[in-house]
Structure 1
């Protein structure tokens, strides 16, 4: 029987920490590093059942991929039920997931003074309390809140999260930023995190909003490199993008939401209706995530990316003429204006009637030629994500009159381009795929040395590929 146990869960000031103890079969996916989350205010008054949510949200998908059980002393009853719903969605989405059972000694409901009933009897593929006992607490979400907003939004300042803010701005949502996924906890990313915090804080100050900053080492407590190597064959993206990040990121917010009395927590949609990709953040995942006092929401799924940019353009015209977006894949202190995502966003802004240069993207008509050359040369590592997003832009191009000869030429090329072929031409080289495949039978210590080396080589190659 495979399993992962959550041991020594503690809250010391603003720091959450616990140990992960795996069975032998799962050791390659778990390091010896304690799972840790840093918040920006004390979490010592948060019940253990809520404190367990961040680690369970990140560990359970790994367990489900291996048919493994998870053991924890205490869990919030509402979240235990939510995990069952999320698991059902993920198992339907990914054939390689096997499922597993969460076993808790105690279940709690911080909002009730009466003892909570056991979630299940522990039999089969369901959540169970191993001794049937329960705990209660007189405090609950809102009891330690400081009078701020009762809604929150995961926020980076990109297109999707800015659209989510525009949609919910009357709620004055707390802006939540998380370090530990695209910005790692490594010292090498300190400057990136500082830039993000400064930008989000500035946006919050301009709009009279509160902020919440969270830092985690989830990708080092769980062996992210080995998860990527082992499961890349099953997914279009990486482990967290395809499987774990909707539940994982939202779960990290639970102690923060408890201390602030957050009732509604929004995460911005990346995709939209009609896109059927194996993506780890979707309505049928995120909308299931909940815990006592808090319901999570996958926001903006009813609009395409271009339609979200249109809504932002309306907001710019009516309320925020100097708004700047941040979407760059290269920099966090502004936009480089040269990566695929910068170019794609700049074109979207122009199609929405905005001048990209006024909103954070240096852009001129000559850039249309660079975009075409880069796409044709396979200079960017593109996936199905990007194919859908360029197709979305192409749909808008059909309705748009070009402003210049270069724009017209680019529009005509895009309307005739084989987007599926462009994505296929951008596939990682065979040597990279072979390394990932070989790592499935490679000792973790060896793979952890080899994979960053290969990443570095590929990064240098991408920088010198023609058309970049």
Structure 2
């Protein structure tokens, strides 16, 4: 059986570095043989069984997909049990490729702690709709806001990260709550593109979004949570109960996704549990929750949803910006108070994008727009030119007509299949060609 070996774990004052070895047939799924995580607190006293969790959270899903064994010196018993539970969930989600894999540890460790020593609360936080809604729901517990660099923002994108953390810090100052910045080279460690070549056609999204990010991001938080005494780490939901796409379903549990109650709620380690938050409300419900909170406090705040704006704000032109601003309109507040720029020209721009089908809407995004429609009519819409006409268009538009079920050219399919099945030596030359030439959607 193929193996992924965590050969060395080096625990520093504020960082942990791992050396990983893997069988030759698994080389295509790894970009490097080292993985590192850095924190803004001292993690040097974190026990080895907990310190290994960040890297195990990245490699175990790969092992399950390739029927490989992960070898490690020590692992926390609660997390080891979590791995079994998460693997069982993913195998039910994706029976076509999650079917096997194991972990072999030299030592299974127990970590006892004093009663009350893990009473703190934390949450993953990006400043977007999902994480803001989770904060509002749990604000009485004064959660620490954890932002992670290394996935959406790469470890080498320091300027973007500084702007993103500035946004997090401003919101934290407004709410008087603590923050943490964590850097983990998630996007550089695994070869996510090759994982997508093999498995994306089974998922609604790429490898990390569809399979790995629930356990992966929570696992990165383990040494931080242990050192700071956080007994729960919340992770805001992307989907909601009843979110079921036609193209990919998990009977009775919605559409498969890498973060789900059956994943996140099963992630545990010494003193800490993960929690998948707000699965009981839709995305538009979350926007209405945020609108109500802004009205309650008398102070709106920036919602940061855009991945295209290099200045760290919202571009106001991409589909996600337009969708979020529209949701705020339907929630009865002015999007201009929340970090968006909406005027009569913006309304015309948004309608034209749909009428010309400039945005390659997929079934997933269609679901979000139909959720917004389901919350119409607006009781008290913002009163400025164009709002009434835009909301009338929104009520009547059939978003099913905007869904582009695009097919890749035959040569791209052939190249993709070739890369997926090629020997490693050939893949080294073939895959970069595929990666350069494959179609790249705007959003």
Mark yes or no: TM-score above 0.5. Answer: yes
Contact (CA 8 Å) 1:177, 1:213: kept in 2 or not? Answer: yes
Deviation at 1:359, TM superposition (A): 1.2
- Separation in 1 of the partners of 2:412 and 2:297? 47
Q: Does 1:338 align with 2:308?
A: no
Which secondary structure does the structure 1 equivalent of 2:183 belong to? strand
1:350 to 317, 329, 337: 329
Normalised TM-score (structure 2): 0.90
Contact (CA 8 Å) 1:179, 1:216: kept in 2 or not? Answer: yes
Q: Does 1:230 align with 2:198?
A: yes
Q: Does 1:166 align with 2:136?
A: yes
Which residue of 2 is the match for residue 14 of structure 1? 14
Which secondary structure does the structure 2 equivalent of 1:358 belong to? helix
Pairs aligned (count): 427
Which secondary structure does the structure 1 equivalent of 2:37 belong to? strand
Which stretch of structure 1 is more off in the superposition, 224-233 or 432-441? 432-441
Contact (CA 8 Å) 2:39, 2:183: kept in 1 or not? Answer: yes
Q: Does 1:295 align with 2:273?
A: yes
Deviation at 1:307, TM superposition (A): 0.8
Contact (CA 8 Å) 2:332, 2:378: kept in 1 or not? Answer: no
Measured against aligned partners, the alpha-carbon deviations of 1:410-447 in whole angstroms (never above 9, x if no partner) come to: 44444444433422356666665555444313544335
Which residue of 2 is the match for residue 239 of structure 1? 207
Which residue of 2 is the match for residue 79 of structure 1? 79
Which residue of 1 is the match for residue 98 of structure 2? 97
Deviation at 1:405, TM superposition (A): 8.0
Distance 1:195 1:141, change over 3 A: farther
Deviation at 1:41, TM superposition (A): 1.9
Normalised TM-score (structure 1): 0.85
Which residue of 1 is the match for residue 24 of structure 2? 24
Contact (CA 8 Å) 1:35, 1:221: kept in 2 or not? Answer: yes
Q: Does 1:394 align with 2:401?
A: no
Which secondary structure does the structure 2 equivalent of 1:215 belong to? strand
Alignment RMSD, CA only?
2.4
Measured against aligned partners, the alpha-carbon deviations of 1:307-355 in whole angstroms (never above 9, x if no partner) come to: 1111111110111513111111212521111111111111111111111
Measured against aligned partners, the alpha-carbon deviations of 1:106-142 in whole angstroms (never above 9, x if no partner) come to: 111111xxxxxxxxxxxxxxxxxxxxxxxxxxx6898
Distance 1:445 1:381, change over 3 A: farther
Which secondary structure does the structure 2 equivalent of 1:106 belong to? strand
- Separation in 2 of the partners of 1:166 and 1:255? 25
Which secondary structure does the structure 1 equivalent of 2:32 belong to? coil
- Separation in 1 of the partners of 2:176 and 2:165? 16
Which secondary structure does the structure 2 equivalent of 1:440 belong to? helix
- Separation in 2 of the partners of 1:172 and 1:415? 39
Deviation at 1:5, TM superposition (A): 1.1
Distance 1:334 1:431, change over 3 A: farther
Contact (CA 8 Å) 1:141, 1:260: kept in 2 or not? Answer: no
- Separation in 1 of the partners of 2:15 and 2:427? 28
Measured against aligned partners, the alpha-carbon deviations of 1:45-89 in whole angstroms (never above 9, x if no partner) come to: 101100111111111111101111111110000000011111111
1:440 to 420, 425, 442: 420
Unaligned 5+ runs, structure 1: 112-138, 464-468
Contact (CA 8 Å) 2:32, 2:188: kept in 1 or not? Answer: no
Which residue of 2 is the match for residue 126 of structure 1? none
Unaligned 5+ runs, structure 2: 244-253
Measured against aligned partners, the alpha-carbon deviations of 1:370-401 in whole angstroms (never above 9, x if no partner) come to: 22222343323433331111010111124657
- Separation in 2 of the partners of 1:437 and 1:408? 50
Measured against aligned partners, the alpha-carbon deviations of 1:157-179 in whole angstroms (never above 9, x if no partner) come to: 11111111111111110100001
Deviation at 1:99, TM superposition (A): 2.3
Alignment of 1:1-400 (within 5 A): 1-95=1-95, 96-111=97-112, 150-186=120-156, 189-275=157-243, 276-331=254-309, 333-398=312-377
